[in-house]
Structure 1
Amino acid sequence: MPLPVPFVSDIMDIQKDWIDYNGHLNMAYYNVLFDTASDHAFHLMGLGAAYAKERKLTVYTAEVHICYVQELHLGDQVRVSFQLLDHDEKRFTAYQEIRHVDGWLAATSETLSLHIDMAGPKVAPYPPDIAEKVEAMRAAHAVLPKPERSGRSIGIRRKTS
């Protein structure tokens, strides 16, 4: 089965309980949307729930950077993409976008994930079969351009005099 380039989730609905007192999607639920899509992409790499249960190996998020671009509201429907940017024998970086079904960008996320041996827990190399699947997704996604919004850092831009 060919890997989706990039992976794009099914349509997800914004839930009533996710709306904050400002009338838009609470920041925590952007993570829920990103994480839900990640779980589906992880499954394609053999890193899903069954992997954790059966092999006692899993993925932890070490770092995440989210940019909130445009508000989402109750009734909005979105899709979330997942692009594997890079990996080594124990880690990978991914870039995601939440897009409204009308196409506009709502948020981006860039993550560093660690492959974990749950017995430790400790960071551990992927088994050969998983390393092969991770590399297959990276190679498939390598045809995509580097996302313009990836590699951002947090800071206050000051005007120079």
Structure 2
Amino acid sequence: MTERKVIWNGRVQSDMVDYNGHMNDASYSLVFSESLDALMETTGLDASGRERHAYTIFTLEAHIRYLQEAHEQQALRTTVTILDQDAKRMHLWFEMENEDGDTIATSEQMVMGMSTTTGRPGPFPEEVEQSLSPLPKLDREHWPTHANVQMGIRRK
């Protein structure tokens, strides 16, 4: 998979490290949550945009894969790709990378646009929709191998 947009940069803070000496699972979730917030900001849904449009994005489902450990003060970045989209939903693929460019975790998320006036799902405002168009998108045949994969114990 080559089409990705860097959306978040940061470091593993000391309060993110657990008793095993590496970033804890909740902190991976936090980084991916902050990555969605960063995506919202780049699409015009920062605090003023959410107020102006009376619109926000809710996460409906998320699946995280933990592939490598991250350690205190390690530099991290996340990238995002749109796997699918309709008028009010996006199926997103985030990758967390270390300073060597290795993917250390992935987060697949289904998110939905919500009217903050009605509390109901609603289509993306036109300005937001337009800001989504330059983001990388993949046809289903080019999705990452682990996208849309059911979790379970494999039995022989």
TM class by shorter chain equals: 0.7 to 0.9
Matched with 2:153 is 156
TM-score normalised by L of structure 1: 0.85
Matched with 2:137 is 141
- State how far apart, in whole Å, the 2-side matches of 1:92 and 1:44 are: 15
How far 1:149 moved relative to its partner? 2.1
Aligned-partner residue type, residue 153 of structure 1 = Q
Aligned-partner residue type, residue 63 of structure 1 = E
Spell out structure 1 runs of 4+ moving beyond 3 A. Answer: none
CA contact (8 A) 1:42 1:48 kept: yes
- SS in structure 2 of the partner of residue 122 of structure 1: coil
Mapping of residues 113-132 of structure 1, within 5 Å? 113-132=111-130
Structure 1 residue 49 corresponds to structure 2 residue 47: yes
Structure 2 unpaired stretches of 5+: none
- State how far apart, in whole Å, the 2-side matches of 1:83 and 1:42 are: 13
Structure 1 unpaired stretches of 5+: none
Matched with 1:60 is 58
CA contact (8 A) 2:8 2:79 kept: no
How far 1:72 moved relative to its partner? 1.0
| Aligned-residue identity in percent | 30
* Alignment: residue pair count: 153
Instruction: Give the aligned CA root-mean-square deviation in angstroms.
Output: 2.0
How far 1:10 moved relative to its partner? 5.0
TM-score normalised by L of structure 2: 0.87
